[in-house]
Amino acid sequence: MSKAIGDALPYEQRKTLADLNFRAGSVFKFYDPIAKKEKRLILIGIRYDRIMVAFLRINTEINAHLFPTEALKNEHLILEYDEALRPFLTHTSYVNCSIFLEQKADILYNTLIEKPGIHIGVLDNNDLTNIKHKVATSRLLSSSQKKNFGLFFSPSKK
């Protein structure tokens, strides 16, 4: 990944950026060891004790081998490509709302300070609400997983 402008900022400014971008709805691009490539990930929740964060993957398409049934495909939410609304996307994509990728919050926060360029955007309120609704109604995520990250109750869809 090329160096972003934020990476050249002084520490205090990078810390200010990290404070602003450490929130649900922020979109990041970094290496995903499970997918074995760089992925776009949405910070969807911060655990009640602020020790862990949960991410959702953004995928180019729904993998038919991993999600062979209609019910499993319905665990995804489509994000249409719209340069003005979603500049962090390069094409229509799908958010996998069936599994959390969990990370220690301090690791993410410190990485944001060290490499502010991993933050590539923020979901608008409508997209965030729709994704939270999809997570809250997911049959694959356990109730305790959803509760831990404040995603048990579905927000009103717009």
> How confident is residue 6, by pLDDT bands cut at 50, 70 and 90?
low
Architecture of domain 5-148: Roll (2.30)
Give CA 104 to chain center in angstroms.
14
**Average pLDDT of span 123-149:** 95
pTM: 0.91
DSSP string covering 47-104, please?
-TTSSEEEEEEEESS--TTT--SHHHHTTEEEE---TTT-TT-SS-EEEE-S--EEEE
Q: Could you tell me which residues are beta bridge partners of residue 87?
A: none
**pLDDT band at residue 132 under the 50/70/90 scheme:** very high
Q: What mean pLDDT comes out for the span 33-41?
A: 91
The pLDDT score that the predictor gives to residue 106 is 97
Give dist(CA 56, CA 53) in Å, integer.
10
Tell which residue, 123, 149, 140, has the closest CA to residue 41: 123
Residue 147 pLDDT grade (very low, low, confident, very high; cuts 50, 70, 90): very high
